[in-house]
Amino acid sequence: MGLTSLLDLELAVPAPDELQAFWEGHGMRVTGPGMLGSLDRPSLLRLREGAYRHVAEMRVACETESDLDAIGRRLERLGLAPVRGDGVLRCPDPILDHTVVVQIGAAAALTPPGPRSLNRPGRPERLNRRSTACLGHAPHAPRRLGHVVFGTPDVAASRAFYVEGLGFKVSDSIGDMAYFLRCSPDHHNILLMPSAVPCLNHYALEMDDIDAIGLAGAKVLAQRPDCSITGIGRHVVGANLFWYMLDPTGGMFELYADMDQIVDDEKWAAEQFRDDWDPFTISRWNSSAVRADFFAPADIDAIAKARAAAGR
């Protein structure tokens, strides 16, 4: 079958303690030195100190040893030199510089949220009782790392690395400008989009539902009133509800829910795949309010300078 899931990210930032304290304050669990987990998963983010904000490592999972063999052969055909260890393959991303680690296994299953019934016109489901959304509702903190969006100076080469090398599948694209890729049933676990320099555009954390997004986002906003980038909205591509905000290091994160799931690759490719999406219609609602720093991080010049200083 190949890849099964996105596991976690190692983020290098100038002040990892500050980022750890932020996420600890918003419900993540400190599960080890610099490691932040959730109810079901010990690691969503691993933090370490770095001169500038970037992804240092991304871990994904595959099913079997023979999947690792096949991935290794495909990467070698692209002229790369993956390193095999015990049940693990490591390969530097040739464009974005971070290391991709593929390991055998799958991300831990998630504890489902409690039942939620909706009263819609002509279809009332919640009768003679109050909604859990407003009474005693304590939604879970972020449940898992769902996707990562990378800005790349060479979209075609990045696509080749992730699709032809690692085996990600293309769910949708914006022409040949941006690609939504998956390594699990999620509509996308990676989005590749153009950028003058390699950068992390955002990391996305799955929440239970719109109320969980609203409650968690409002709590962040109460502490840091200028941190909302855009949201709440619903993406057109992938269909996820979203709220984009800045963490204390200036990194954008997304709280999201209700993303399209793809379990039949051929059916999706035949009936749903599109490559003609409009890059600027990011939401079914209110796309005109999207700020420029949704598309390129406000600290992109600082990232470029720091990369140059590091000889990259």
Q: Which residues bind Fe ion (CB under 5 A)?
A: 204, 254
Q: Which is nearer to Fe ion, 75 or 181 (CB)?
A: 181
What angle (nearest 5°) sits at the alpha carbon of residue 178, between those of residues 176 and 179? 95
Q: How far is CA 106 from the centre of its chain?
A: 16
**Measured from the CB of residue 287, what is the shortest distance to Fe ion in angstroms?**
14
Strand partners, 188: none
Q: Which is nearer to Fe ion, 257 or 306 (CB)?
A: 257
End-to-end alpha-carbon separation of the chain, Å? 35
**Measured from the CB of residue 37, what is the shortest distance to Fe ion in angstroms?**
21
Q: Which is nearer to Fe ion, 5 or 132 (CB)?
A: 5
Token pair recorded at residue 44: 């969503």
**Measured from the CB of residue 203, what is the shortest distance to Fe ion in angstroms?**
8
**Measured from the CB of residue 268, what is the shortest distance to Fe ion in angstroms?**
19
Strand partners, 99: 57, 92
Token pair recorded at residue 157: 């080469």
Q: Which is nearer to Fe ion, 91 or 191 (CB)?
A: 191
Q: Which is nearer to Fe ion, 38 or 230 (CB)?
A: 230
Q: Which is nearer to Fe ion, 68 or 204 (CB)?
A: 204
From the CB of residue 221, how many other CB atoms can be counted at a distance below 10 Å?
A: 14
From the CB of residue 308, how many other CB atoms can be counted at a distance below 10 Å?
A: 10
Give the three-class secondary structure for 165: helix
**Measured from the CB of residue 80, what is the shortest distance to Fe ion in angstroms?**
27
Give the three-class secondary structure for 73: helix
Task: Give the span between the Cα atoms of 145 and 114, in whole angstroms.
Answer: 20
**Measured from the CB of residue 87, what is the shortest distance to Fe ion in angstroms?**
30
Token pair recorded at residue 142: 């972020």
